[in-house]
A and B are shown apart, each in its own frame.
Chain A
Amino acid sequence: MLTIKQYVRAESLEQAYELNQKKSNLILGGIHWMKMTTRTVNTAIDLSGLGLGEIVETDDRFEIGCMVTLRQLEQHPGLNAYTHNAIAHAVQDIVGVQFRNTATVGGSIFGRYGFSDVLTVFLALNTKVVCHRAGEISLEEYAQMAQDRDILVKLVVEKAPLQISYQAMRHARTDFPILTCAVSCVNGMWQASVGARPYKASLVRDEEGLLAHGVGEKQAEKFGDYVTEKLNFGSNMRGSAQYRRQICGILVQRGMMEASEVK
């Protein structure tokens, strides 16, 4: 059970950051995940009043505030046009509309959850994370860092020539995924982000030039095998390591074929 002694609506990021330095205090996202944990929080810090709930599109980038909800991601026309609806696909089976109306980008990325559809798709977009103290860090690096007491302020997705497709396997709609996969080609480099292995998503790039001479069924199959070989898989109640290894290649292959069709 989550017990909160004091609630503070932060008036600035600096105030929120200072409050968050105490181990007994906590930043509030949509509170869905945090509510499943048993802990006593001294001061719960609400960032709702700091204007961080917007997606700002400019000529060269998207800036996504940490309080943006998963539903906003799903419905943003510019972001979904740019990602060929990969973002909407990635989040649309997360619980339900009501859940996505309050679950936040900040909580989803800060948590670096193994099962995260959100982390998987943003990794494939070469996203950067902006933290209040640490500044800009690549999401690839941020995903590997241990949770600290900095505040994740926003995500930055720079626009570049992009092909992308999102694929996931679930036992049933709205359940946690068995495997998540986003295949993308950013600035000419093919890569696959695979999560829920059940470990958190990692990126595998085509560093051996398997796809240098174009993408067809054969190359996609090869790349699927290559990605599978590079990653580790584990077992949990949703699937065995062997099963995950088996479907990884297939999802990468499907993703590649779909992504290569979008121009």
Chain B
Amino acid sequence: MELKFELNGKNVSTVIEADSLLLDVLRNLGCSSVKRGCESSNCGLCTVFVEDKPVLSCSVLAARVADQHVTTLEGLQEEAADFGAFIADQGAEQCGFCNPGLMMNAIAMFRENPHPTEEEILSYLSGNLCRCSGYEGQLRGIQSYLAFKDAQKGGA
């Protein structure tokens, strides 16, 4: 079947099977930031936005995004580079495999709640698993990024 949707601001059209997963379709369209981890809704690695909401692309039928807006990390380069520098600065990660999913979900959180408490950060990101770290570095990276953003805006 033919699928038309908007990917990172551009209209795309592709041919899919009835059971194609959004994750595979996005990777076939060149979005290699979208990674397959557990493929059972557990790890958060495959996070993308559908209509600006973070979802697990390993558990979304591609057919369902017809005429919708899908965003991957490739479409958020500026925000990702900005924020990613703070994660790197904390040496938060080891292998980095979890990074694309974490970046996507953290960006979703920043948009939904620009001033999250520590508890709110941990809660929002609880579906993003990291096998290497103890999450402390990521937490520090997020907090220093938020502090930097506030300082840029002249304080909050």
Which residue, of B47, B55, B124, B128, has the highest number of chain A Cβ atoms within 10 A?
A: B55
The answer to whether B56 touches A98 (Cβ under 8 A) is yes
A133 interfacial contact with B, CB 8 Å: no
The answer to whether A98 touches B61 (Cβ under 8 A) is no
Question: Separation in Å of the A108 CB from the closest CB of chain B?
Answer: 13
A173 interfacial contact with B, CB 8 Å: yes
Question: Separation in Å of the A94 CB from the closest CB of chain B?
Answer: 9
Residue of A nearest to B127 (CB): A96
Pick from A26-34, A119-127, A154-162, A221-229 the stretch touching chain B. Answer: A26-34
The answer to whether A3 touches B19 (Cβ under 8 A) is yes
The answer to whether A96 touches B19 (Cβ under 8 A) is no
Partner of A92, one of B40, B42, B123: B123
Partner of A102, one of B19, B56, B105, B124: B56
The answer to whether B1 touches A7 (Cβ under 8 A) is yes
Question: Separation in Å of the A43 CB from the closest CB of chain B?
Answer: 9
The answer to whether A174 touches B61 (Cβ under 8 A) is no
**Alpha-carbon distance A2/B42, docked complex (angstroms):** 17
A-B contacts, CB under 8 A, total = 72
B141 interfacial contact with A, CB 8 Å: no
A101 interfacial contact with B, CB 8 Å: yes
B100 interfacial contact with A, CB 8 Å: no
Report, as a range, how many residues of chain A touch the other chain: 20 to 34
Which residue, of A2, A9, A92, A96, has the highest number of chain B Cβ atoms within 10 A?
A: A96
Known: A4-B18, A36-B40, A99-B41. A31 touches B127 (CB 8 A): no
Chain B residues, Cβ within 8 Å of A6: 18
A50 interfacial contact with B, CB 8 Å: no
The answer to whether B19 touches A95 (Cβ under 8 A) is no
A85 interfacial contact with B, CB 8 Å: no
B60 interfacial contact with A, CB 8 Å: yes
A5 interfacial contact with B, CB 8 Å: yes
Give the residues from 1 to 18 in chain A that come closer than 8 angstroms, CB to CB, to chain B.
2-7, 9
**Alpha-carbon distance A95/B43, docked complex (angstroms):** 9
Chain B residues, Cβ within 8 Å of A35: 40-41, 59
The answer to whether B18 touches A5 (Cβ under 8 A) is yes
A80 interfacial contact with B, CB 8 Å: no
Q: List 21 A-B contacts (CB under 8 A).
A: A2-B19, A3-B19, A4-B18, A4-B19, A7-B1, A31-B59, A36-B40, A44-B61, A96-B126, A96-B127, A97-B124, A98-B54, A99-B56, A99-B127, A101-B53, A101-B54, A102-B55, A102-B56, A102-B59, A102-B60, A173-B126
Known: A7-B19, A96-B125, A99-B127. 10 other contacts (CB 8 A): A4-B19, A7-B1, A28-B61, A44-B18, A44-B19, A46-B61, A46-B64, A101-B55, A173-B126, A174-B127
